Structure 1
Amino acid sequence: MNKHKYIEVQHAEMVFETKKGSFHALADVNLTIEQGEFTTLIGHSGCGKSTLLNLLAGLTTASEGVLLCGGREIAGPSPERGVVFQNHSLLPWLTCFENVHLAVERVFGARESGAKLRERTAAALALVGLTPAAGKRPNEISGGMKQRVGIARALSMEPKVLLMDEPFGALDALTRAHLQDELMRIVAQTGSTVVMVTHDVDEAVLLSDRIVMMTNGPAATIGDIVQVRLARPRDRVALAHDHLYIEYRTRVLEFLYHRQARPQKDAA
């Protein structure tokens, strides 16, 4: 697939007004993401990762600057940008199928038949391997399965961009690894553009085409970007001994724990 510039962040600033005064969260953020690219945002807590993701989702509006998706300004939430949060946010009284169907109905209900909407819902659940659990409610499935339903719900809207905020952060290590592999498979199948917030260096290197490393806040910005040139599909076991994987992992760790640790120590 020929890639081209799809998401653009131009001189984005974010200032929040609080009871204690103004808080400058993001300063002069500039970023371009190609169509079909998997980009992760990584940095210490409070570096503005989730703030930037919320700007891309249209959940908040930048104080200054412009954000574009597909050449159009991001002015609010849109089905073309699906969002998956760390908290799956499923409605507990609905089944897995019904939770996904609700999103499908909101996006396609005005122009498609009930049968087509059910078909879309079933396809989204099949994509994340949850067809057998379609009739179960959230309290009847595991945490990893709940997160899969959240991913299915986002994918069911056929978004051009998938925005993920620490989607596997609350899961145990084995479940997290399994869902990382599932996500790589899904993205390869759908060709989605993905922007994901993570604290996990290994997760960032495993999944990404590029790792965007944020400086410490306040007034956080992009400190460096690592281009991850690892062939796909990726095997986590084989990569553990790959010299390029180790090099990328080391670069991110050095940024986070040397370049970004010093200012905090000096201020102490």
Structure 2
Amino acid sequence: MAFLTLQDISMRFGSRERGFLALDRVSLSVAEGEFVTLIGHSGCGKSTLLNLIAGLMVPSAGRIMCDGRVIDRPGPDRGVVFQNHSLLPWMTCYENVLLGVRQVFGKTLSPAELRDKVEASLSLVHLDHAMAKYPHEISGGMKQRVGIARALAIEPRILLMDEPFGALDALTRASLQDELARIVEATRSTVVMVTHDVDEALLLSDRIVMMTNGPGARIGEIASVALPRPRDRLALATDSEYADCRARLLQFLYLKQRRQAA
């Protein structure tokens, strides 16, 4: 049974006559514990779809359900990691994570239990040593790890990630991809992630949802990634199944979609 379902989702900005149709009748089911990646060219509605799942926007048509409940507003059952870390600069790493934890668990947990939850989340992303540091005192990769810790600390049912590593250098990005794979394996999280990176999608995903170009973007194809876990990026480089799946993604993105755009 599907854990997260999107049923005929359309999203229009502005009026029907002069507005912009971003998404047109998108339907998708995600199983609990599944890692699903949304990929496509800029303007295909990937981030819009993620924001709808987060409850930051309400669809113009259709409905989104999580575990049988309609999503129509933000909630602690969905943790969001943005491309920009969005840390509050006047708070330490610990305080940034505590802010969300206190909001969700402040009425049910003691101060000591809140502290334990924050410390456990920062330990999960290997930032025990940076708890007392401010955002300007740590690297970009560390800031993103604080953002992941902040999202995980509220124990969300779904982790939503909008190109979380897109602004990082290649080596830092690769390191955090491996870190995310480890965390997801440990927490058994359900993840929906937006990316432009084909190799990132293949390394992390159970399924990859390929979006058509906008306006009126839809799901063009869905590729299952049957590669065993844990995945080693060096071993994948010579794996024939990896190469076949990568070729399918590239064919869709760079042949089918670019031909349509032209």
- The bucket for the TM-score relative to the shorter chain is over 0.9
Q: Select which of 11, 14, 17 maps to 1:14.
A: 11
1:165 aligns to what? 162
Task: Work out the percentage of aligned pairs sharing the same amino acid.
Answer: 64
TM-score, normalised relative to structure 2:
0.99
Tell me the amino acid that sits aligned with residue 52 of structure 1.
Answer: L
CA offsets per residue over residues 174-211 of structure 1, 9 Å max, x none? 00000000000000000000000000000001100000
Q: Distance in 1 between matches of 2:187 and 2:261?
A: 41
Pairing of 1:81-230 with structure 2 (within 5 A): 81-230=78-227
**What number of residue pairs does the alignment pair up?**
262
Instruction: Tell me by how many angstroms 1:75 deviates.
Output: 1.2
TM-score, normalised relative to structure 1:
0.96
Instruction: Tell me by how many angstroms 1:81 deviates.
Output: 0.4
Tell me the amino acid that sits aligned with residue 50 of structure 2.
Answer: L
Q: Distance in 1 between matches of 2:224 and 2:153?
A: 30
Q: Distance in 1 between matches of 2:112 and 2:72?
A: 32
2:246 aligns to what? 249
Uncovered stretches (5+) of structure 2, i.e. residues with no partner? none
Aligned residue for 2:226, secondary structure, equals coil
Aligned residue for 2:191, secondary structure, equals strand
Aligned residue for 1:241, secondary structure, equals coil
Q: Distance in 2 between matches of 1:217 and 1:132?
A: 44
The structure 1 segments of at least 4 consecutive aligned residues displaced by more than 2 Å after TM superposition are none
Instruction: Tell me by how many angstroms 1:253 deviates.
Output: 0.3
Uncovered stretches (5+) of structure 1, i.e. residues with no partner? none
Instruction: Tell me by how many angstroms 1:264 deviates.
Output: 1.6
Q: Distance in 2 between matches of 1:80 and 1:240?
A: 36
Q: 2:69 matched to 1:72?
A: yes
Aligned residue for 1:132, secondary structure, equals helix
Instruction: Tell me by how many angstroms 1:263 deviates.
Output: 1.6
Q: 2:235 matched to 1:231?
A: no
Instruction: Tell me by how many angstroms 1:21 deviates.
Output: 2.2
Tell me the amino acid that sits aligned with residue 53 of structure 2.
Answer: L
Q: Distance in 2 between matches of 1:111 and 1:261?
A: 52
Q: Distance in 2 between matches of 1:241 and 1:59?
A: 41
